[in-house]
Structure 1
Amino acid sequence: MLHPHSLRAAPHRLVSAAQSRSAQHSFGAFYATVRGMRHRPEPDDVEPPDNDFILSLLRANPSARDARSYLASFGIRPQSRPAPQPVPIDIALPSHAQTQVPQTSAAPVQEVKPSPLISSILDPIHRRTALVKVQGPFTDRQLESIARGMVYLEKLGLVSVIIVEHDDCPKGDEHEREAVLEETTRVVQALEKQGAKARPVLGAVVRLGPKPGDEASSSYNPEAHTYPSDLIPIRSALRAGEIPVLSPMALDSFCRSVRVDANDVIAALARGMVEASSTSAGVSGPSDEVDLIPLRLMIINREGGVPSYARSGLPHLLVNLESEHDFIHNTFQRSWESTHPSALSNLSLARTCLSYMPPTSSAIMVNHRAPSSLIANLVTNKPAASSSLPHALLHGNRLTPNTPTLMRRGLGVEVIRDLANIDRSKMTALLEQSFGRTLDQEAFYARLEKDLDFVIVAGEYAGAAIVTKERGANSSSFSPVVYLDKFAVLPSHQGDGTVDFLWVALHDETYGLGLPFSVNPNGGKEGRGDGKDLVWRSRANNPINKWYFERSSGHVRMGDWVLFWCDAEMRLKVEEGRRGSAGLSYIEDWEQGRLVSWADIVPKIPSSWKK
């Protein structure tokens, strides 16, 4: 099966000079492909009514792959009626959660019928847990909105274990205990008003200090710990169908219950709940036992996601904690310390928790104005919009201060420029599994010996982008074409953010080079140098072309192929600044003949596969 994230390679047809001239003349018609996408922002402190649950799912816009991933975690109850016809497998690149709502003005909301895809996720059989930090204080209306989101998640099989924080009550205040307990009670009451059963857990369930055996210093070790017996109140509440709501309390060395930072409690629970599940593995329990291993970490606050230097302070969409955590700390601007005072501590909390949680888990940081984003995250496990989309397409309605930040454990990203440093056996396995074809290794690596520019590798060859420099006999007036030869991700890493991690790194090393927000820690040029146009091709009937259209500057059709390109962004900015208010012309002088040269070179690149 062809990997949906991979560029196809096949024998090429030569483009005649006449075709090339025609392609150049049609250049303008195909140049601009970045289009605006409608987005309906969340109104402040307003959530849909209870009868709008299905529309909340529709806003998540799950693909068939998303539904399969969800069902793998939650399953479905047997249906007495005939099962709906199976949905064809969607082999497109991940379609990210959007907030487009079907037009239903002609009928009341409650008459909206879910599609078979939505119906398949409405009746979970397995219940999973999420660790939720409610970082208040919040008004009654805000708590009502948050509680409704928790109830919606419970309907989908995700039961929240809530830890309440009170940011406005300083540590050491003489009334801090009363204030924290009161805030915990308010959360319980808000949940009950939404029809949920909730249980306040006011006593300490974690213990201060490192866990015995954790003497070796590690940035991942929580400042508190717990034992399986400490989790009895949480287990009891979950078995009774209740949402446990905890105060941030811990037992000190004198067995006194003291207030601590909620992050310490959450990190200890993330580790403790995973360890408790592993020690009880194989032990039969009640049929309604909730899986104690946290599937999600959700941080609901008043400040929103983590601000990004690359997006003028708007939130990060997706964070690869393995490779970006330290860099985000180092680039955090001083002005954000007042507007987002807990962003970095929550980022570190996510890294600690996800180090214990399953690889498929994720963490989301969202403000109280957009709790419906939690539903989209649960069903799709994706950010609100793809982080690899062009900045021009993201800014505006698709990226606002209320957009949540999704965090994944992620993978290391490395840029390799010497073919000798590539593990050929792993690279070959990656390409063959991704494309479902047999690589002509001798010819392929011989060509890379001559033409390789660089390779971006994610993790242990979970994904890779191979870029070459292609030259043509009649293109002496142009620099070598920077060509995306292969873009591949293992099937096991589809939908886990690897595609976006790779494309962002590809942007930073090619057409985004030279811009301040391309200074990323991927082992490459770290923003230094001149950007280069990036060119690639795809079969005209390739189902992932829509994904390419959204990320390219332009495209042109050439018979059975579509030629895509991304313009060097810094060059466009410099030229636009030089011209001032006059703006860019439709085709700049340096673009003349460029497409003809590409159309002459790219189709002649040989196939990488054995026939």
Structure 2
Amino acid sequence: MLSHAARCIPRTVATNLNSRSGQTFRAFYATIQSLRRAPPSIPELDDIDPADNDFIMSVLRANPSLRDTQAYRAYFNLVPPPPPRKPDELQKESMAKPQAARETLLPEVAPQTQSPVIASILNPIHRRTALVKVQGPFTDRQVDSIARGMVYLEKLGLLSVLVVDNYSIPKGGDGERSAIVEETMRVVTALEKQGARARPVLGAVVRLGPKPGDEEDPEPQDHSIPEAHTFPSDLVHIRSALRAGEIPVIPPLALDSFCRSVRVDSNDVVAALVRGMAEAAALDGFGQTQKDGVEPSTPSEDIDLTPLRLMIINKEGGVPSYARSGLPHLLVNLTSEYTYIRDTFDKQWKSTHPSAMSNLDLARTCLAYMPPTSSAVMVSHRSPSSLIANLITNKPAISSSLPHAMLESNGVLTAHTPTLLRRGLPIRVIRSPADIDRAKLKNLLEQSFGRKLDEGSFWKRIDDYLDFVVVAGDYAGAAIVTNESATVPSSFSPVAYLDKFAVLPSHQGDGTVDFLWVALHDESYGLGLPFSANPNGGKQGVGQGRDLVWRSRANNPVNKWYFERSTGHLRMGDWVLFWCDAEVRLKTVEGRRANAGLSYLEDWEHGRLSSWGEVVMKIPSSWKQNV
């Protein structure tokens, strides 16, 4: 059910718009609120201008959940404007006041000119920014596609700062600077052609070398220190452009020690800007609410320079994955996967993805200075609409926790599928009950489920039946798996039972759920396959896969998520039994069926569901009753 604020936004704003703009607004907000069925007020797509048509379709494809919508609105502080007041109400109010007061009030209540439709739709209290690396060379048509994506983001309240580079322009060659400036102006022209206001910032805004004081920092960093830096005073042109509603477009130039403007690697410029803009935003007072509960003193009309997203747009797309035969990674946990991804990068990919590793390093460096909820996306120029989905949902285009067979068989995963990168959390596997921090696990379970744990029976069951626990970070999430083999007939494969799957509310939506499920997959039903050899502290893909079984209340809203990730399910009264078959066995059966007419129900499958159901339904509840 939508909140009162969500329900009143279309009604209060659309009345002030013309007919077509009102239709566009209702279509947009119906999508943002994740209404699965289009309301009657949504117009036919043919009734919308082509640019709006394309924009609305891009938002529709994002398909955000209610949680995604709430997070998006929170980022931009979207609040409904006050309802328009009727003329007779204004007249009665003014007549109720003394004459002098009426004379003072009358000019203030005069109708005001409406702002443009997009500003009326969004008008965020805190406008947010993104750093975008446009990594050419691109044709004019490709630049137009990229510019259209930037305009879409601007409509959604995200102001982009573009750093333009063209890797085909040789460094140190004759006419290098003029070629870079020309490339920058080409992007500016494309943005203006799409209806945006753009401002070229052709002077250097960063300085070569580490920031003064970096060499004195004794703490080791888990990321590279940017090889350039910037001060708040250097950002005056960027800040001015953003305040004016213009998109700054910057060439990869930096000041050297002799104050000469020289061309540098665009990654150095982007990293320096991310760090500098985050530090400038902190000086402005943004981001203090989360720390001390005090509202920032900065006027709400100012711009929060803290980069909310890092976007790397190129021709090659995301980072090739060892688990997907060179197709892109979907979601990367940089904290736990960075080294392994570099170690498993195939040499043959250097020809097709020459900048993949340098962009991976760039994302790791930038995300270290960005808020924990921020993300980086590496996307091909062919997928500008993916930027909208990333902004609204902050999730990968395709969930990395979906079954591999689903991703491989229906062609949803292509070479142009974006790679989403998060700072992430360390993942580890615990196999001994003695190694569990029981206080932290108890806190996680009670916060996640909103119920009180029956500690006596729960810990006894863990001591007797524990197989392993996958822990994300400092118990930000956990998947508890028990071994039920002793209670299952020997004719069936050993069964791993997913006793609990929990993530702290503060980490729901930041990728922890997918990171946790992928590790769970690697340690249970996915074990034994090459793409399960992930660095999660477990068996590294070596071993025999086991069927994973779990139960969930029939009215659990999470069941839709379970349906998409399970091999099958069976309704049992008030419960639903889910299972994931061991994938090695499925591949073996698939190979046999390719050469022989086999039934769809194998001998080893007969009777197992009733056996699982009998075992699972006898497992006692972990929660205190009536508390």
Residue 140 (1) aligns with residue 173 (2): no
Partner of 1:214: 214
C-alpha distance after superposition, 1:467-510 (max 9, x if no partner): 00014556243454210000001111111111110110011001
The residue aligned with 2:57 is 55
Note the residue ranges of structure 1 that are not aligned, 5 or more in a row: 1-46, 84-117
What is the CA–CA distance in structure 1 between the aligned matches of 2:493 and 2:350, rounded to whole Å? Answer: 45
User: Post-superposition shift, 1:141?
Assistant: 1.1
Distance verdict in 2 for CA 1:449–1:326, change over 3 Å = same
Q: CA offsets per residue over residues 282-303 of structure 1, 9 Å max, x none? A: 8855653211110000111111
> Does residue 254 in structure 1 map to residue 263 in structure 2?
no
Q: Deviations over 1:454-477 (max 9, x none)?
A: 000001111100000014556243
Matched position secondary structure for 1:204? coil
The higher radius of gyration belongs to 2
Structure-1-length-normalised TM-score: 0.83
Please give the per-residue CA displacement for 1:576-608, whole angstroms capped at 9, x wherever unaligned: 335552265322222233223212211111111
Q: Does 1:304 align with 2:317?
A: yes
Deviates most, 569-578 or 134-143: 569-578
Paired residues of 1:538 and 1:561 also in contact (CA < 8 A): yes
Q: Identity of paired residues, percent?
A: 73
Runs of 4+ in structure 1 deviating by more than 6 angstroms, as ranges, are 118-121
Retained in 2: the 8 A contact 1:305–1:404?
yes
Q: How does 1:211-250 map to 2 (within 5 A)?
A: 211-215=211-215, 218=221, 219-250=223-254
1:123 positional shift: 4.5
Q: What residue number does 1:29 align with? A: none
Q: What TM-score does the superposition give when structure 2 sets the normalisation length?
A: 0.81
In structure 2, the CA distance between the partners of 1:194 and 1:523, relative to structure 1 (3 Å rule), is same
Q: Does 1:265 align with 2:269?
A: yes
In 2, are the aligned partners of 1:314 and 1:400 still within 8 Å (CA)? yes
Correspondence 1:326 to 2:339: yes
Secondary structure of residue in 2 paired with 1:527: coil
User: RCO (CA 8 Å, sep 6+): is it higher in 1 or 2?
Assistant: 1
Out of 239-248 and 73-82, give the one that drifted further: 73-82
CA contact (8 A) 2:444 2:503 kept: yes
Is the Cα contact below 8 Å between 1:135 and 1:165 reproduced in 2? yes
C-alpha distance in structure 1 between counterparts of 2:79 and 2:420, whole Å: 30
Name the stretch that deviates more: 284-293 or 254-263.
284-293
Of the three residues 528, 531, 552, the one matched with 1:514 is 528
8 Å contact 2:252–2:263 — kept in the other structure?
yes
- In 2, the alpha carbon distance for the partners of 1:119 and 1:182 equals 31
SS at match of 2:501: strand
State the shift of 1:555 in Å: 1.6
Matched residue, 2:542: 528
C-alpha change, 1:471 and 1:392, in structure 2 (3 Å) is closer
Query: Matches of residues 146-165 of structure 1 in structure 2 within 5 Å?
Result: 146-165=146-165
Query: Paired residue for 2:450, among 413, 436, 441?
Result: 436
Match of 2:110 in 1: none
| CA deviations over 1:316-336 (Å, ceiling 9, x no partner) | 111111111111111111111
Which residue of structure 1 lines up, in the alignment, with residue 463 of structure 2? 449
1:501 aligns with 2:515: yes
Aligned with 2:560: secondary structure? helix
Deviation at 1:144, TM superposition (A): 1.0
The 1:584/1:161 distance shift into structure 2, 3 A limit, reads farther
2:177 corresponds to: 177
- Report the residue type matching 2:229 in the other structure: H
SS at match of 1:326: helix
Q: Distance in 1 between matches of 2:569 and 2:401?
A: 18
Offset at 1:415?
0.5
Residue 572 to residue 214, structure 1, CA distance change in 2 (3 Å): same
Q: Give the deviation of 1:524 after TM superposition.
A: 0.2
User: Following the alignment from structure 1 to structure 2, what is the Cα–Cα distance between the partners of residues 352 and 383?
Assistant: 20
| 2:460 alignment partner, SS class | helix
Match of 1:71 in 2: 73
Count of residue pairs the alignment pairs up: 531
CA deviations on 1:208-255 (whole Å, 9 max, x unpaired) are 111122115743311111111111111111122211110101111121
CA distance in 2, matches of 1:223, 1:518: 36
**Residue type of the alignment partner of 1:253:** S
- 1:32 maps to what in 2? none
Aligned-partner Cα distance in 1 for 2:174–2:119: 52
Check if 1:166 corresponds to 2:143: no
SS at 2:617's partner residue? helix
State the SS of the aligned residue for 1:322.
helix
Letter in 1 for 2:599: S
Q: Is the 8 A contact 2:492 2:604 kept in 1?
A: no
- For residues 597 and 366 of structure 2, the distance between their equivalents in structure 1, rounded to whole angstroms, comes to 49
Output the CA distance in 2 between the equivalents of 1:82 and 1:442. 59
Kept in 1: contact 2:494–2:547 (CA 8 A)? no
